[in-house]
Structure 1
Amino acid sequence: MASHKLVLLLPVIVLFTITTGYVMASPPAVKAAYWPSWSQTFPPSAIDTTLFTHIFYAFLLPSNVTFKLEVSESTASLLNNFTSTLHQKNPPVKTLVSIGGGSSDPKLFARIVSNKGSRSIFIDSAMEVARRHGFDGLDLDWEFPKNPKEMVDLGQLFKEWRVAIRKEAKSTHRSPLLLTSAVYFSVDFQWDETYRKYPVASIAKSLDWVNAMCFDYRGSWDTSATGAHAALYDPNSNISTSYGLASWVRAGVPGNMVVMGLPLYGKTWLLKDPKVNGIGAPATAAGPGDDGILTFSQVVKFNKENGATVVYDAKTVSTYSYAGTSWIGYDDSRSTTVKLKFAQALGLRGYFFWALSYDSEWEISKQASRAWIIG
């Protein structure tokens, strides 16, 4: 991979008044998080809504036969509880239902977007489910379109989805549903065998914002060395949050339509030599946790129980800890704050967390909310 030197240009905010006297207002900030619906110990009632503006229900899946969201009775009850609980909270938050997820079949979405008929079925079903269960919007998490054609088809889906949303809102006299999408950290996939790029023009015209997933740069698929899996900067490559976010803006997606993803979990490795323990240190296998992953609350517990050494790395803007041969790379309150300052300097809309229930006593969520206000 070619190294990349990022030049960060601070956004220039230009206010102009048109002849009628109106001033163009910036869209409200997004402080969001995805709620894993399979969490048995973290119900919607446990969410501190003072820290967020939007909560995503994760996930619903379309049928691979009908392309509709076929909601069972038990899921319907869960959806209704999710929206009613969060709308009744003080303060209330906006709710969006996210469709897909990392474990969903990307080929299914490729089939759905491949022709107008299947796109229409999917769009109508998604909107009907959102309205029936009281959601404020819809989010698509397709990981990921595999080739240029699928990217073109995705752009067509977004265009038709926006048209449908406007038509429905006009006919029902209701506020339009929000429409967002979880996307790759970078606007293009230049490191894969098949180069492809997101449909920027369609996204800019059709979506409210994109959720850039700025994490999982490193993991158990490469056990040879430790790594900062959500590094803001990478001195050796373009696989970094700074490069990815700037690529979206450079490509033509307005900064106020880009939301930065933050991980509430760490990636782990087993060190080859406990005395060699920095980022990039030789490793032999994935470390503690399921497939080398620990939630932030588990990281906090591990550090305390094992007397781990905790290090903030300014070069990558990340944190890591180690005890014996166990090594964990993650974000804490300090690295998260620096990332948020970067996002604000770039003129971004806000941030989101994956996943809501992974925090430790709201430690990072509280710091993020404070940092964005102060920013």
Structure 2
Amino acid sequence: MVVFMTITATAAGSVMASPPVVKAAYWLSWVENFPPSAINTSFFTHIYYAFLMPNDVTYKFNIENSTLSNFTTTLRHKNPPVKTLFSIGGDGSDSTIFTRLASEAGSRKVFIDSSLEMARKFGFDGLDLNWEFPESPKQMQDLGRLFDEWRLAIDNEATSTGQAHLLLTASVYYSVEFFIYGDYRKYPVDSISRNLDWINAMSYDYHGSWDTSLTGAHAALYDPKSNLSTSYGLKSWLQAGVPSSKLVMGLPLYGRSWTLKDPKLHQIGSPGAGIGPGDLGILTLSEVDEFNRKNAGTVTFDTETVSIYSFVGTTWIGYDDALTTTTKIGFAQAHGLRGYFFWALSFEREWEITRQGNITIYQNSKLF
């Protein structure tokens, strides 16, 4: 098993336990052929139910769904059991709902109270906010207020009921700052550090269908030519003051494809002429494997970015495999991060990638 640091030395020389390692993954509720019972829980500590949304007028969760109870009950009784959280929002959800509810104290309270009621009703261990993404400094301030009040409500609820505290996490941009599009803004680091158990940094989607002029490693560990890399993003969170024990690294179980402008030019950064196969140029790792087998794709490891790409004819696909995933997990371990999470379950075959967190690895040098 990958061994993250579990003890830390204090200034006085005593030793105290660090928070337990997080090995998480998101389960997609709309994928019909992958029930919770199919999850191999030996590879994970936490599973997220994706996604739920509050009512866009009342900001309450008006949900009566047997799927939720089945999800939590099934995973609680698996061997080994895992903790469950439900994730609120997600890519494609109406982010203006979060903008509105976070802007007023009254709507924040309604939302928070309803979220806690939902968690207890269906047996979840925690909640996760996936607001993609606050678009201004004002919205970032409101997000910080939301976290302050959410944590207070969780503490008060646990005290009054005698139950264990609910976990509170958030899925966030790969970097603490937004500098690519929209207004410059920065996450409320102080509030995050005080109030959240950890954050899930979405360390992927650095390149994709929005820019098909050049191929790119969409989850590059390093990029010497830009700030679009996992190493840059995680380092920005640490330098901003988020404790390493509250930072969890994202790992993608999918690839992104391009159509090459010239099939003779097939490296990372080669000219593109549009997206390749897949929905908007996205292929699950199972689909990538199938494509490479059927078309005898040439698979290449890129040492500069620590990523994999394959090509055949004018088709180019960038993705991660077992080697790059293991290297990234070692990177997280070397820098004392809380752990890692995968997006998303059902995207691979036979746990080839997600099992990497349970394989012993050794890092002989500092990676930053």
Q: 2:320 aligns with which of 293, 314, 331?
A: 331
Provide the residue aligned with 2:30 in structure 1.
38
Residue matched to 1:27: 19
Q: Which of 143, 147, 156 matches 2:132?
A: 143
- Of residues 41, 45, 57, the one that matches 1:49 is 41
Amino acid at match of 1:331: D
1:125 aligns with 2:114: yes
Aligned length: 358
Alpha-carbon contact 1:68-1:121 (below 8 Å) kept: yes
Q: Report whether the alignment pairs 1:268 with 2:257.
A: yes
Equivalent position of 1:61 in the other structure: 53
Question: Which of 105, 126, 129 is the aligned partner of 2:94?
Answer: 105
Instruction: List aligned pairs for 1:187-206, cutoff 5 A.
Output: 187-206=176-195
The sequence identity of aligned pairs, in percent, is 62
SS across alignment from 2:359:
helix
Q: Which residue does the alignment assign to 1:278?
A: 267
| Mapped contact 2:8–2:15 kept (Cα < 8 A) | no
2: CA distance between counterparts of 1:24 and 1:186? 30
- Name 2:9's counterpart in structure 1: 15
The alpha-carbon distance between structure 1 residues 142 and 371, as it changes in their structure 2 partners (threshold 3 A), is farther
- Code of the aligned partner of 1:160: E
Q: Distance in 1 between matches of 2:305 and 2:189?
A: 28
Q: 1:70 is matched by which residue type in structure 2?
A: N
Counterpart selection for 2:239 from 245, 250, 274: 250
TM-score (normalised: structure 2): 0.95
1:313 and 1:140 mapped to 2: Cα distance? 34
Alpha-carbon contact 2:128-2:170 (below 8 Å) kept? yes
CA shift, 1:70, in A, is 1.4
| Alpha-carbon distance between aligned partners in 2 of 1:48 and 1:339, rounded to the nearest angstrom | 21
Cα deviations by residue, 1:117-164 (Å, 9 ceiling, x for unpaired) = 000000000010010000000000000000001000000100100000
Supply the RMSD in Å over aligned alpha carbons.
1.5
CA–CA distance in structure 2, aligned partners of residues 300 and 34 of structure 1 = 21
SS of 2:168's partner is strand
Question: Is the partner of 1:24 in helix, strand or coil?
Answer: strand
Structure 1: how far apart are the matches of 2:153 and 2:236?
29
For residue 366 of structure 1, give the secondary structure of its aligned residue in structure 2. helix
Q: Which amino acid aligns with 1:15?
A: A
Paired residues of 2:83 and 2:125 also in contact (CA < 8 A): yes
Bigger CA drift: 102-111 or 132-141? 102-111
- Report whether the alignment pairs 1:70 with 2:62: yes
Other-structure match for 2:78:
89
**Structure-1 separation of matches of 2:67 and 2:248:** 27
TM-score (norm 1): 0.93
Q: Which shifted more, 51-60 or 101-110? A: 101-110
Deviation, 1:371, is 4.6
Find the partner of 1:185 among 164, 174, 195.
Answer: 174
Partner Cα distance (1:116, 1:158) in 2: 12
Q: Distance in 1 between matches of 2:88 and 2:338?
A: 22
Equivalent residue, structure 2, for 1:6: none
**Partners of 1:99 and 1:14 in 2: CA distance:** 33
Report which stretch shifted further, 143-152 or 361-370: 361-370
Instruction: Answer yes or no: is the 8 Å Cα contact 2:8–2:17 preserved in 1.
Output: no
Native 8 Å contact 1:319 1:329 kept in 2: yes
Q: Which runs of 5+ in 1 are unaligned?
A: 1-10
Matches of 1:316 and 1:23 in 2, distance apart?
Answer: 37
Amino acid at match of 1:156: R
Check whether the contact 1:337–1:371 (CA below 8 A) recurs between aligned residues: no
Q: Tell me which residue corresponds to 1:167.
A: 156
For 1:126 and 1:96, the matched residues in 2 are separated by 11
Rounded Cα–Cα distance in structure 2 between residues aligned with 1:173 and 1:14:
30
* Structure 1: distance between partners of 2:240 and 2:162: 35
User: Residues 61-120 of structure 1: CA distance to partner in whole angstroms, max 9, x if unpaired?
Assistant: 01111001110x3xx200000000000000000000000001111111010100110000
Distance across 1 between alignment mates of 2:332 and 2:136: 29
Deviation string 1:282-316 (CA, Å, 9 cap, x unpaired) is 11110010110000011011111111100010100
Which amino acid is the alignment partner of residue 144 of structure 1? F
* Equivalent residue, structure 1, for 2:366: none
Structure 1 residue 192 displacement after superposition:
2.2
In 1, Cα distance between the equivalents of 2:324 and 2:142?
37
The amino acid of 1:16's aligned partner reads: T
Distance 2:96 2:270 in 1: 37
Deviation at 1:337, TM superposition (A): 1.1
Q: Equivalents in 1 of 2:264, 2:14: separation in Å?
A: 62
